C-alpha cells in the first residue's frame, strides 16, 4: 500500500504542474510545490526508516534511530524552501498581476487531484487500522490534510474565475505560503529538538504518573531520571534508591521490577539503565517501608514524585537539603556509619 501511495503522489504531482503550466496561476504553483516537497520528503523518509531499522553496531552503540530526525530536518527544510519560493512569486504576482489562462481546466485538474488524494488517504487509513500500521495511517492522514489545503486553493481559483480580479491569485498564494512556512518550521523545530535530545515533557509526565501509581515500598527514592528518544526506541536512565542493607541480588530484583513496570506501560523498545543507591538516614522520615530493621526516625510524610524532582540529580531527603560539599560528605560519612541490620 505504501508503494501505491508514493506512485499516486508522483502522478498527482505531474497533474498539478500540468495545471500550473496551463494556467500560470501562483495558487496552483503553491499546491504543486507543496506536493513536490512532500514527495521528495516521502522518498527521503522511506530511506531514513530503512536506516533507522538497522540494529546497533560498534560504530552506532545507540542504534540508528536518529536518522528519522535527520530525515524530518530535510523535510522541514524542503517545505520552508518551497514556502519561500511561493511567497516571493505571490508577492510579485500582486505587484504585477497577470491574466490567468484556461482557469477552468486548472480548477478541474486540481479538483481531480484533491479527490484522488482524499480517496487514497481514506484507503491508506483503513489499511493501516486493519494491519496496525502507524506509517500507513500517518500517510493517509497526510494525504487528507493536503486535500483540505487544495480545496482552499480551489475556492480562491473559483472566485478569481468569476470576478477576474487576478491579484487575488497572489493573495491566495501568500496565505498558503504562510501556512506552509509554519508547517515547515514546526517539522524542522521538532527535528532539531530530537537531535539535541530535548526533553519530552509529555512523555516524562506519563512516566512519572506510572511510577507514582505503581510505587513499591523498597523504592525509597528515584532521581536523575533521563528519557532520550532515538527514533522508535526509548533510552531511560535513572537512579533508584533502595534500603542500604540489601545485597546485590536483592537490589537487582528491585531494578528488574522497575524495568518491568516501564516496559509494561511504554513497550519493549526501551533500553533501561538503572543505578542503585543505598538509602541515607536522612531519608527515614520519607521512607514508607513498614518493617525496616535499621530505621533511625519514624516515617513522617511521603514525597510525591513529580517531573521536577525526579529530574534532579540528588536524592530526596527528609531534612532540608544544603547544597554544599561538606554536607554531602557528612551524609556519606553517616551512611557509612549506619548500623548493620540484624
- Cβ-based neighbours of 253, under 8 Å, separated by 6 or more: none
Q: Which among 149, 178, 195 is the end of a domain?
A: 195
> Rounded CA gap, 99 and 274, in Å?
68
- Helical segments of the chain, H only: 2-23, 26-52, 67-95, 103-131, 134-163, 167-195, 201-213, 248-266, 307-311, 325-337
Strand 233-242 relative to strand 270-278, pairing: parallel
pLDDT band of residue 242 (cuts 50, 70, 90) is very high
Q: Are residues 142 and 234 in the same domain?
A: no
Q: Which of 20-24, 254-258, 262-266 has the highest mean pLDDT?
A: 254-258
Q: Which among 127, 162, 195 is the end of a domain?
A: 195
Q: Which stretch of 47-56, 81-90, 206-215, 241-250 has the lowest confidence by average pLDDT?
A: 47-56
Q: Are residues 154 and 223 in the same domain?
A: no
Q: What is the pLDDT of residues 109-167, one digit of tens each?
A: 989 988 988 888 788 778 767 765 555 566 667 677 778 778 888 888 898 888 888 88
Q: Which stretch of 74-78, 79-83, 156-160 has the lowest confidence by average pLDDT?
A: 74-78
Taking the CA atoms of residue 154, residue 74, residue 179 and residue 189 in that order, the dihedral angle to the nearest 10 degrees is 160
The three-state secondary structure class of 280 is coil
pLDDT band of residue 29 (cuts 50, 70, 90) is confident
> Rounded CA gap, 239 and 277, in Å?
7
pLDDT (mean) for 21-34: 86
What's residue 331's pLDDT?
A: 45
| CB contact at 8 A, 239 and 226 | no
Q: Which stretch of 234-248, 299-313, 326-340 has the lowest confidence by average pLDDT?
A: 326-340
Q: Which three cell numbers stand for residue 153?
A: 486553493
**Model confidence at 303: pLDDT above 50:** yes
**Model confidence at 337: pLDDT above 60:** no
Does 191 map to a domain? Answer: yes
Q: Are residues 116 and 166 in the same domain?
A: yes
Does 301 map to a domain? Answer: yes
Q: Which stretch of 50-54, 66-70, 117-121, 334-338 has the lowest confidence by average pLDDT?
A: 334-338
224 membership: H or E segment, kind and range: strand 221-230
Q: What is the pLDDT of residues 173-203, one digit of tens each?
A: 888 888 888 888 887 887 787 776 666 788 8
Domain count, the chain: 2
Q: What is the pLDDT of residues 258-272, one digit of tens each?
A: 989 988 888 777 788
Q: Are residues 140 and 243 in the same domain?
A: no
pLDDT band of residue 328 (cuts 50, 70, 90) is very low
Query: 336 to each of 27, 118, 203, 249, how far by Cα in Å?
Result: 74, 68, 37, 20
Query: In DSSP terms, which residues pair with 242 in a beta bridge?
Result: 278
pLDDT band of residue 321 (cuts 50, 70, 90) is very low
Rg (CA), the chain: 29
Q: Are residues 168 and 221 in the same domain?
A: no
Does 47 map to a domain? Answer: yes
| Residue-number span of the structural domain to which 316 is assigned | 201-337
68 versus 293: the higher-pLDDT residue is: 293
Q: Which stretch of 59-68, 96-105, 170-179 has the lowest confidence by average pLDDT?
A: 59-68
Of 337, 277, 338, residue with least CA distance to 313: 277
**Model confidence at 63: pLDDT above 80:** no
Q: Are residues 191 and 215 in the same domain?
A: no
Question: Tell me, what CATH number does 89's domain have?
Answer: 1.20.1510.10
What's residue 127's pLDDT?
A: 79
Q: Are residues 106 and 222 in the same domain?
A: no
Q: Are residues 185 and 205 in the same domain?
A: no
| CB contact at 8 A, 13 and 37 | no
The three-state secondary structure class of 284 is helix
Q: What is the pLDDT of residues 92-103, one digit of tens each?
A: 888 887 788 888
| CB contact at 8 A, 179 and 149 | yes
Q: Are residues 117 and 163 in the same domain?
A: yes
Query: In DSSP terms, which residues pair with 239 in a beta bridge?
Result: 223, 275
pTM higher than 0.85: no
pLDDT (mean) for 16-29: 88
Q: Which three cell numbers stand for residue 71?
A: 530525515
Does 151 map to a domain? Answer: yes
| CB contact at 8 A, 225 and 316 | no
> Rounded CA gap, 186 and 314, in Å?
35
pLDDT band of residue 2 (cuts 50, 70, 90) is low
Q: Which among 140, 170, 195 is the end of a domain?
A: 195
Sign, Cα dihedral of 199, 202, 207, 211 = positive
78 versus 65: the higher-pLDDT residue is: 78
Amino acid at each position: 500500500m505504501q508503494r501505491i501511495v508514493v506512485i499516486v503522489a508522483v502522478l498527482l504531482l505531474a497533474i498539478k504542474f500540468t495545471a500550473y503550466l496551463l494556467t500560470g496561476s501562483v495558487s496552483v504553483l503553491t499546491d504543486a510545490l507543496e506536493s513536490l516537497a512532500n514527495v521528495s520528503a516521502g522518498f527521503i523518509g522511506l530511506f531514513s526508516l530503512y536506516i533507522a531499522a538497522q540494529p546497533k553496531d560498534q560504530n552506532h552503540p545507540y542504534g540508528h534511530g536518529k536518522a528519522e530526525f535527520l530525515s524530518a530536518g530535510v523535510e522541514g527544510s524542503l517545505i520552508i524552501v518551497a514556502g519561500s519560493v511561493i511567497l516571493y512569486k505571490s508577492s510579485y504576482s500582486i505587484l504585477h498581476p497577470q491574466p490567468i489562462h484556461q482557469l477552468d481546466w486548472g480548477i478541474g485538474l486540481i479538483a481531480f487531484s484533491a479527490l484522488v488524494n482524499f480517496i487514497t488517504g481514506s484507503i491508506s487509513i483503513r489499511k493501516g487500522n486493519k494491519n496496525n500500521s502507524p506509517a500507513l495511517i500517518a500517510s493517509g492522514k497526510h494525504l487528507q490534510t493536503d486535500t483540505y489545503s487544495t480545496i482552499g486553493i480551489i475556492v480562491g481559483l473559483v472566485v478569481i474565475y468569476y470576478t477576474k480580479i487576478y491579484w487575488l491569485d497572489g493573495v491566495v498564494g501568500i496565505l498558503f505560503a504562510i501556512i506552509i512556512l509554519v508547517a515547515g518550521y514546526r517539522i524542522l523545530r521538532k527535528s532539531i529538538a530530537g537531535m539535541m535530545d530535548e526533553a519530552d515533557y509529555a512523555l516524562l509526565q506519563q512516566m512519572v504518573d506510572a511510577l507514582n501509581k505503581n510505587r513499591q515500598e523498597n523504592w525509597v527514592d528515584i532521581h536523575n531520571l533521563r528519557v532520550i528518544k532515538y527514533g522508535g526506541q526509548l533510552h531511560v536512565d535513572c537512579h533508584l534508591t533502595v534500603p542500604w542493607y540489601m545485597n546485590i541480588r536483592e537490589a537487582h530484583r528491585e531494578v528488574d521490577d522497575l524495568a518491568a513496570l516501564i516496559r509494561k506501560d511504554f513497550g519493549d523498545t526501551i533500553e533501561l539503565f538503572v543505578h542503585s543507591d543505598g538509602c541515607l538516614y536522612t531519608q527515614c522520615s520519607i521512607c514508607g517501608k513498614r518493617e525496616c530493621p535499621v530505621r533511625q526516625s519514624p516515617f513522617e510524610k511521603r514525597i510525591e514524585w513529580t517531573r521536577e524532582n525526579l529530574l534532579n540529580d540528588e536524592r530526596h531527603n527528609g531534612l532540608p537539603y544544603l547544597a554544599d560539599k561538606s554536607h554531602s560528605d557528612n551524609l556519606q560519612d553517616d551512611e557509612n556509619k549506619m548500623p548493620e541490620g540484624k
